[in-house]
Amino acid sequence: MEDPVIPFDLARMFFGEHPPLFYLEILFRTVVIYGYTLTLVRWIGGRSVAQLSMMDMLLVIALGSAVGDATFYPDVPLLQAMLAITVIVMLNKALDAIAARSKRANQVIDGRPIAVVRDGCISIPGRKASDMSMEEVRSMLRRLGVANLGQVEMAFVEEGGGMSVFGRRKPAPGLSLLPPDDMMRHVTLRTPGETVEGHLCCAECGNLRRSGEVRQDQPCDNCGNRGWTEARLLDTGELPQLD
């Protein structure tokens, strides 16, 4: 029968039950595994964090587990860990080669861009396909400097999870993406924009309608929301444009 664990045993918590020389072994293990992993990662090529695909993220997770276990578990031989790391990297390299040769395989492995905004309105099928909420779409647009959906012709969620936005050549009335007025008291860089007389937009997706076409509590034909607000107009700013 094993000895019971003594809670808050500082010697056990900080030093464990291994001899002091084992810390030198941990240092050696870490240097070997880190150097070997770095060599393989440099061989397969690196991408910036913003460009990581789903396959690259899986590589990072798998390598993290294999590398971490081998650095401080005494019962994990280094050669076994190095073999696991090699297999993981080779699989990633093979999938990269397959994806480069086949468009269909690339879509299966990495996914494809999904349009979440079309003509100043949040696309419900695109939002669902990208597994994002309305607020997540609006938040990502704000991070890219978009203050009004009327500025946007198309917006795509890319394979790596980032968003690409293309602005309209001429601004159109649309849904303001700025927070409520009580959250904007100290914000002076942007204004909500001028109200466009005779136009309303859905308060959720930005679906634009003329005032005479919308009755009180009428559901939006794009998202089903019953809330409507006045459409506003902002300049396109520095957003890239589609030809």
* Closest-CA residue to 55 (of 126, 103, 127, 107): 107
pLDDT digit string (tens) for the chain, length 243 residues: 567 777 877 777 777 777 888 888 888 988 998 888 878 877 766 554 445 666 676 777 778 877 887 787 777 788 888 888 888 888 888 888 887 888 887 777 777 889 999 999 999 999 998 889 999 999 999 999 898 999 999 999 987 778 999 999 888 899 988 876 444 343 333 445 666 678 899 999 999 998 888 887 789 999 999 888 888 887 666 666 665
| pTM score, whole prediction | 0.66
As a whole number of angstroms, the longest Cα–Cα distance in the chain is: 82
Q: Are strands 114-118 and 228-233 parallel, antiparallel or unpaired?
A: unpaired
**pLDDT for res 183:** 41
Alpha helices, H only, the chain: 10-15, 22-44, 54-72, 78-101, 103-110, 124-129, 134-143
pLDDT at 103: 81
**CA dist., res. 44 & res. 37, Å (int):** 11
Considering Cα of 68, then 72, then 73, then 77, what sign does the dihedral take?
Answer: positive
Segments making up each domain of the chain, as ranges: 17-108, 114-233
Phi-psi category of 217—alpha, beta or left, where left has phi over 0 and alpha has psi -120 to 50?
Answer: left
Q: What is the CA radius of gyration of the chain?
A: 27
Q: How far apart are the first and last CA of the chain?
A: 75
Q: Which CATH superfamily is domain 114-233 in?
A: bsu07140 like domains (3.30.240.20)
pLDDT of amino acid 51: 55
